[in-house]
């Protein structure tokens, strides 16, 4: 009888956001800090509105990854918003990174694209939208540092080939299609090899509007 009482679990104890988040952890890592293979991205500390937007995109078919589509397909906005807020609140240290093996010329070109853009190619700097520190901007722009190169490459490829979509105006799809393969290689290499300063996160907002407005990218 004592054993039976000690094993009693109340339904309310299981219906917590921590319990709801458990299916996310095998891929996205403990508390959402990123999967061990580098492909599954870090979701800890990302802006909550960005995370919610992506969960809705998976649910509504604008993004395609079978497990994510399955997990979100029947969930209401409020449920997804609770998950987004939970993972956004997880403030965890970032793993160390190394630029070993990446040519200096590749890193130099990547830095230019990330920080200054390329006016001749009609490419604004990544920092114009993703924040001066490239760690995102509130309420809904994700950070680009602390993300693996394989994930960045995969997402740019998905936008270029129309496998990933956002609500119009889909700025990233337009910009990704303007980038050459060499520029994608350069910018993802540079972004993936930059250390994330401790204690830094998304900005309250970007300091200036992007040099190319989204409405003009349609």
Mind listing the pLDDT tens digit for each residue in 99-140? 889 999 999 999 999 999 999 999 999 999 999 999 999 999
Number of H-type helices and E-type strands within the chain: 12, 0
93: buried, middle or exposed (CB in 10 Å: 19+, 13-18, 0-12)? exposed
**pLDDT above 80 (res 215):** no
How many other C-beta atoms can be found within 10 angstroms of the C-beta atom of residue 70? 11
**pLDDT above 60 (res 40):** yes
- Name the average pLDDT for the chain: 88
Per-residue pLDDT band for 207 (boundaries 50, 70, 90) equals low
**pLDDT above 60 (res 14):** yes
Residue 8: the pLDDT is: 56
Residue 12: the pLDDT is: 56
Largest CA distance in the chain: 77
Question: Which domains does the chain possess?
Answer: 6-92 (1.10.760.10), 97-218 (1.10.760.10)
**pLDDT above 70 (res 146):** yes
CA atoms of 97 and 195, how far apart (whole Å):
6
CA atoms of 152 and 185, how far apart (whole Å):
10
Please tell me the number of Cα atoms within 13 Å of 151 on its side-chain side: 19
CA atoms of 158 and 178, how far apart (whole Å):
14
**pLDDT above 90 (res 61):** yes
Residue 11: the pLDDT is: 53
Q: Which residues on adjacent β-strands are paired with residue 90?
A: none
Q: Please indicate whether residue 157 or residue 13 has the higher confidence score (pLDDT).
A: 157
Cα dist from 47 to 50, 52, 157, 176, 184, whole Å: 5, 9, 23, 22, 24
pTM of the model: 0.82
């Amino acid at each position: 009888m004592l054993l039976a009482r000690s094993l009693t679990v109340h339904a309310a104890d299981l219906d917590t956001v921590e319990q709801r988040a458990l299916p996310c952890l095998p891929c996205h890592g403990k508390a959402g800090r990123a999967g061990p293979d580098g492909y599954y991205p870090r979701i800890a500390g990302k802006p909550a509105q960005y995370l919610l937007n992506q969960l809705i995109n998976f649910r509504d078919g604008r993004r395609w990854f079978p497990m994510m589509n399955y997990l979100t397909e029947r969930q209401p906005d409020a449920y997804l918003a609770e998950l987004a807020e939970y993972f956004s609140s997880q403030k965890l240290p970032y793993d160390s990174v190394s630029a070993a093996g990446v040519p200096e010329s590749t890193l130099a070109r990547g830095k230019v694209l990330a920080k200054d853009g390329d006016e001749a190619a009609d490419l604004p700097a990544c920092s114009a939208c993703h924040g001066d520190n490239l760690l995102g901007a509130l309420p809904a722009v994700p950070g680009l540092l602390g993300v693996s190169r394989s994930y960045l490459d995969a997402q740019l490829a998905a936008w270029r080939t129309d496998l990933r979509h956002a609500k119009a105006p889909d700025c990233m799809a337009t910009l990704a299609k303007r980038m050459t393969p060499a520029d994608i290689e350069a910018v993802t290499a540079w972004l993936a090899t930059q250390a994330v300063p401790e204690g830094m996160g998304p900005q309250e907002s970007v300091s200036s509007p992007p040099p190319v407005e989204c409405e003009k990218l349609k």
